[in-house]
Amino acid sequence: MDPAAAELSSLATALDELTTRLTGIAEGFMRARREDIGSELFAVERLLDTARRRLDKVVDTVGA
């Protein structure tokens, strides 16, 4: 695997971990009836998911 692809893949894994942590925090705010904050955090989660998908495409391109 290309060294850049390996590093980018590692970053994609880090994005997964951040997204998982963020989801847990957002769910906690929703349970605490702080939908305003929870909703904003879920919006960030969606952006991170989009970033992950785009990064996966780059990794596939670089690794090909």
Residue type, 43: A
| Dist. CA 15–CA 55, nearest whole Å | 10
Model confidence over 15-60: pLDDT tens digits? 999 999 999 999 999 999 999 999 999 999 999 999 999 999 999 8
CA 57 to CA 52: how far, in whole Å?
9
| Angle made by CA atoms 18, 38, 55, in degrees to the nearest 5 | 30
pTM: 0.83
pLDDT, residue 1, reads 65
